[in-house]
C-alpha cells in the first residue's frame, strides 16, 4: 500500500495535474498508509511470536519441562538400560549354576523386553546349560527304581513286541500326559523340571534319557535371529526323530537326504556362525550314513548284494536337485555303483571315505 501511494505522486507530477494542496493531501494519505502498514506488520509479528512460544511451551509442558527431542533420547536410554539390566541378571543366573527350568522361566518373562541380539544370546546360553545338565539328570533318572516306573507308564511296558514295531515314534518318547501318574515324589518332581527346562525323555536300549527338545525352543522364534532359528530347526529334526538308534537308521533315506541338504545350506549360508563346526560335523555324520547305511540298515539286499531300489531312487532324486555339494558327490557315487552292476561290495564301499572327504573339503573351501 505504501508503494502504491508513492506511485500516485509520481503519476500526478508527470501529468502536471498536481498542485500544492494535492501534494499535501497525497503526502497525508501516504503517511496514513505507512502507519497502517507498520501496525499491520507489528500485529503479524506478535501473532507469529505467540504461536512459536505456544508450540514450544506445549512441547516442554507435555514432557515434564523437557524438550521433545531430549525426552525421546532419555526414553531410549531407559530402554537400553533395562535391557542391560535384564542381561546382567540373566548372566548372573547362568554363572550361578541355575537349572535350565529356572532359566526358562526368566526367559519367558523377559525375552520380549530385549533386542534380537540379546534374545539370541539368551537361547544360546540356555542350550549350553541344558547340555551341561544332561549328565546330571541322567544320573538322577537311574536312581532308585526310576527307570522301572517310567517304563511301566510307557507303551513299552504295556505293548506286545509285534505291536511295538508299528509304533516306533510313540514308543521312543515318554508320554508327558502320564506325569501325574508318577507315584515316586522325587521322580515326579524331576520329570516336571525336565519338561519345564525344554527337555524330553527318549528311550534308548530299554532306558529313558533326557535330550534337549529343540521343537519346544521354537516358541522363541519371533524374538531370534534368522541364523538361530535355522539352527534350532536343524537340531529339532533329530530331537523329533533321531536319525539312528541301536545301529539302525530309523528314518527313510529321502528324509535323511532332506537333513543333508538342510545342513549344507546352513553351512554355506552362515560361514561365520558360532555353530559352523557343529553343523559341519552333523553334515558329515548324515553323509556317511546316507552313502553306506549302517550295520543294521545296509543299503543293499543281503542275498543279492544289489543296492535297494528305494535307496537308489533316493540317490537319483538328490542327483537331480539344483547343484549342491551333496548332489555332485551322490552323482559320482551313482556312477561308481552303476559301473559295478549295482552290486554293493568292498569295491564300492571303499570309495565312500574318499567321497566323504571330498564333500567336506569342498564345503570348507567355500567358507
Q: What is the pLDDT of residues 278-302, one digit of tens each?
A: 999 999 999 999 999 999 999 999 9
Q: For 264-290, what is the mean pLDDT?
A: 97
What's the whole-number average pLDDT of the chain? 84
Q: Look at residue 223 in the predicted model and tell me its pLDDT.
A: 98
**What is the distance, to the nearest Å, from the Cα of residue 119 to the centroid of all Cα atoms in its chain?**
9
Q: Look at residue 5 in the predicted model and tell me its pLDDT.
A: 45
Res. 246: pLDDT tops 80: yes
How far are the Cα atoms of 70, 81, 82, 83, 366 from residue 77, in angstroms, in the given order? 11, 6, 9, 10, 41
pLDDT digit string (tens) for 142-151?
Answer: 998 999 999 9
Res. 24: pLDDT tops 50: no
* Segment among 107-116, 155-164, 215-224 with least mean pLDDT: 155-164
φ/ψ region of 273 (left if φ > 0, alpha if ψ in -120 to 50, else beta) reads beta
When pLDDT is cut at 50, 70 and 90, the band that residue 1 belongs to is very low
Tell me the torsion sign for CA atoms 325, 331, 336, 341. positive
Q: Could you give the CA distance from residue 300 to residue 346 in angstroms, rounded to a whole number?
A: 12
Q: Look at residue 73 in the predicted model and tell me its pLDDT.
A: 54
Q: Could you give the CA distance from residue 295 to residue 307 in angstroms, rounded to a whole number?
A: 15
Q: Could you give the CA distance from residue 56 to residue 284 in angstroms, rounded to a whole number?
A: 66
To 10 degrees, the CA torsion angle through 51, 57, 61, 65? 160
Share of the chain above pLDDT 70, in %: 75
Measured from the Cβ of residue 149, the count of other Cβ atoms closer than 10 Å reads: 18
Q: Look at residue 12 in the predicted model and tell me its pLDDT.
A: 44
Q: Read off φ and ψ for residue 249, nearest 5 degrees.
A: -75, 120
Res. 16: pLDDT tops 70: no
Q: For 317-335, what is the mean pLDDT?
A: 95
Q: For 179-195, what is the mean pLDDT?
A: 97
When pLDDT is cut at 50, 70 and 90, the band that residue 74 belongs to is low
* Segment among 46-50, 83-87, 156-160, 317-321 with least mean pLDDT: 46-50
Q: Which three cell numbers stand for residue 140?
A: 538322577
When pLDDT is cut at 50, 70 and 90, the band that residue 52 belongs to is very low
Q: Look at residue 49 in the predicted model and tell me its pLDDT.
A: 42
Amino acid at each position: 500500500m505504501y508503494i502504491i501511494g508513492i506511485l500516485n505522486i509520481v503519476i500526478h507530477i508527470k501529468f502536471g495535474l498536481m498542485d500544492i494542496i494535492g501534494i499535501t493531501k497525497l503526502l497525508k494519505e501516504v503517511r496514513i498508509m505507512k502507519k497502517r502498514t507498520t501496525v499491520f506488520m507489528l500485529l503479524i509479528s506478535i501473532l507469529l511470536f505467540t504461536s512459536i512460544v505456544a508450540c514450544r511451551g506445549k512441547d516442554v509442558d507435555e514432557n515434564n519441562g523437557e524438550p521433545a527431542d531430549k525426552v525421546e533420547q532419555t526414553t531410549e536410554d531407559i530402554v537400553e538400560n533395562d535391557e542391560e539390566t535384564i542381561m546382567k541378571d540373566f548372566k548372573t543366573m547362568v554363572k550361578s549354576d541355575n537349572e535350565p527350568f529356572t532359566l526358562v522361566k526368566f526367559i519367558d518373562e523377559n525375552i520380549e523386553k530385549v533386542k534380537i541380539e540379546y534374545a539370541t544370546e539368551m537361547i544360546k546360553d540356555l542350550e549350553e546349560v541344558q547340555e551341561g545338565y544332561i549328565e546330571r539328570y541322567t544320573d538322577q533318572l537311574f536312581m532308585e527304581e526310576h527307570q522301572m516306573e517310567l517304563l511301566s507308564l510307557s507303551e513299552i511296558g504295556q505293548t506286545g513286541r509285534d505291536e511295538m514295531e508299528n509304533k516306533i515314534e510313540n514308543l521312543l518318547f515318554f508320554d508327558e500326559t502320564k506325569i501325574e501318574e508318577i507315584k515316586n515324589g522325587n521322580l515326579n518332581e524331576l520329570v516336571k523340571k525336565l519338561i519345564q527346562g525344554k527337555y524330553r525323555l527318549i528311550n534308548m536300549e530299554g532306558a529313558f534319557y533326557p535330550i534337549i527338545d529343540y521343537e519346544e525352543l521354537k516358541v522363541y522364534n519371533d524374538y531370534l535371529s534368522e541364523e538361530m532359528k535355522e539352527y534350532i530347526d536343524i537340531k529339532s529334526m533329530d530331537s523329533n526323530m533321531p536319525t539312528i538308534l541301536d545301529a539302525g537308521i530309523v528314518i527313510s533315506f529321502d528324509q535323511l537326504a532332506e537333513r543333508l541338504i538342510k545342513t549344507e545350506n546352513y553351512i554355506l549360508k552362515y560361514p561365520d556362525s558360532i555353530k559352523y563346526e557343529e553343523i559341519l560335523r552333523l553334515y558329515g555324520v548324515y553323509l556317511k550314513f546316507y552313502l553306506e547305511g549302517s550295520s543294521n540298515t545296509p543299503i543293499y539286499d543281503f542275498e543279492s548284494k544289489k543296492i535297494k531300489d528305494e535307496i537308489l531312487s533316493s540317490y537319483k532324486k538328490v542327483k537331480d536337485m539344483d547343484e549342491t555339494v551333496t548332489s555332485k558327490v551322490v552323482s559320482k557315487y551313482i556312477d561308481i555303483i552303476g559301473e559295478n552292476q549295482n552290486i554293493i561290495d568292498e569295491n564300492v564301499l571303499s570309495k565312500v571315505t574318499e567321497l566323504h572327504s571330498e564333500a567336506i573339503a569342498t564345503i570348507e573351501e567355500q567358507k
